[in-house]
Structure 1
Amino acid sequence: MKVILLQDVKSLGKKGDIVEVNDGYARNFLLKTKKGVEANNKNMNDLKLHKANQDKIAQEQLEAARELGKKLEESKVTVSIKTGEGGRAFGSVSSKEIAAAAQEQLGLDIDKKKVQLKEQLKSLGTFHVPVKLHPKVTAELTVNVTEEA
Structure 2
Amino acid sequence: MKVVLLENVKNVGNKGDIVEVKDGYGRNFLIKTNKGVIGNKENIAKAEKEKAEEAKKLEEERQEAIALAKKIDQTEINITERAGEDGKLFGSVTSKDITEALEKQKGIKVDKRKVELEMPIRNVGRIEVKIKTHQGIMGNLTVVVKGEA
Poorly superposed stretches of 4+, deviation over 3 Å: none
Task: Tell me the equivalent position of 1:15.
Answer: 15
Alpha-carbon distance between aligned partners in 2 of 1:39 and 1:148, rounded to the nearest angstrom = 68
Contact 2:89 2:124 (8 Å CA) reproduced: yes
Q: How well do the aligned residues superpose, as a CA RMSD in angstroms? A: 1.3
Q: Give the paired residue count.
A: 149
- CA–CA distance in structure 1, aligned partners of residues 23 and 147 of structure 2: 71
- Provide, for residues 88-146 of structure 1, a one-character-per-residue CA deviation record: whole Å limited to 9, x for no partner: 21111111110000000000111101111111111110011011101131110001111
Percent identical across equivalent pairs?
A: 44
Shift of 1:84: 2.5
Is 1:82–2:67 an aligned residue pair?
no
- Identify the residue that residue 33 of structure 2 maps to in structure 1: 33
For 1:129, the equivalent position in structure 2 comes to 129
Q: With structure 1 as the length reference, what TM-score do the two structures score?
A: 0.94
| 1:33-91 CA distance string (max 9 Å, x none) | 11011111101111111111111111111111111111111110111222124222111
Q: Distance in 1 between matches of 2:59 and 2:11?
A: 30
Paired residue for 1:54?
A: 54
What is the Cα deviation at residue 10 of structure 1?
1.5
Q: Which amino acid aligns with 2:63?
A: E
Q: Taking structure 2 as the reference length, what is the TM-score of the superposition?
A: 0.94
Report the counterpart of residue 67 of structure 2 in structure 1: 67
| C-alpha distance in structure 2 between counterparts of 1:91 and 1:3, whole Å | 59
Unaligned runs of 5+ residues in structure 2 are none
- Matches of 1:88 and 1:55 in 2, distance apart? 48
**Aligned residue identity for 2:82:** K
Secondary structure at the aligned position of 1:84 is classed as coil
**For structure 1, which runs of at least 5 residues remain unmatched after alignment?**
none
